[in-house]
Amino acid sequence: MSAVRILLLGPPGAGKGTQAQLLVDSLGVPQISTGDMLRAAVSAETPVGCEARSFMDAGKLVPDAVVIRVAEERLAQEDARTGFVLDGFPRTVAQAEALDALLERLGCTLERCVAIQVDVEELVRRLLKRAEIEGRSDDNEEAIRTRMEEYREKTSPLVAYYRGKSVLAEVDGIGSVDEIAQRVKEALA
């Protein structure tokens, strides 16, 4: 594999977290997700973490500007200088543009965006199964389909954005974890 500054893109249930962990293990770079970044900043009580906490405590989405500042704090840390696997960030084209600017300030670029493609019916099946296994009663079919629609509206435009930057690789997300991992590995070469 040659790319070490990577974004995994895909809808909920596509297997981004699983594939991100496999990449982290093989590349020795950190997995960076929006939730992890926000929780770490809040826990460390950084100024931007305290700002994020005010939104989180009120049950509101953390605004893009705050998420970007948290991302900058995280990506500037020593362990991310040699590479990273982004998972769940950016979620919108505006966040992607801000990420480009912040990586430029840090003296690096995103080397590859791997979009894991899975059809909606398979995603719904996976998420319903996961909800059953984990006992998540809030993950019913209606809620899952609502999240899929939100992903389609807000996040799927990132596929075209990264295709336009010539860093996109699309992989089939159907198959065993190992089969998908092999496709991701080939996409990073």
Is 74 among the catalytic positions?
no
Catalytic residue among 129, 136, 152, 165: 136
Is 16 among the catalytic positions?
yes
Is 154 among the catalytic positions?
no
Question: Residue 94 belongs to what domain range?
Answer: 5-188
For the whole prediction, is pTM greater than 0.85?
A: yes
Per-residue tens of pLDDT for the chain, all 189 residues: 578 999 999 998 999 999 999 999 999 999 998 888 888 889 999 999 899 999 888 878 788 899 999 999 899 999 999 999 999 899 899 999 999 999 999 999 999 999 999 999 999 999 999 989 988 777 789 989 988 998 999 899 999 999 999 999 999 999 999 999 999 999 999
Catalytic residue among 147, 154, 163, 185: 147
Residue 58's domain is classified under what CATH number?
3.40.50.300
Is 183 among the catalytic positions?
no
Domain count, the chain: 1
Is 60 among the catalytic positions?
no
**Res 79: pLDDT:** 94
DSSP state string for the chain: ----EEEEE--TTSSHHHHHHHHHHHH---EEEHHHHHHHHHHTT-HHHHHHHHHHHTTPPPPHHHHHHHHHHHHTSGGGTT-EEEES---SHHHHHHHHHHHHHTT----EEEEEE--HHHHHHHHHHHHHHHT-TT--HHHHHHHHHHIIIIITHHHHHHHHTT-EEEEE--S-HHHHHHHHHHHH-
Catalytic residue among 53, 130, 154, 185: 130
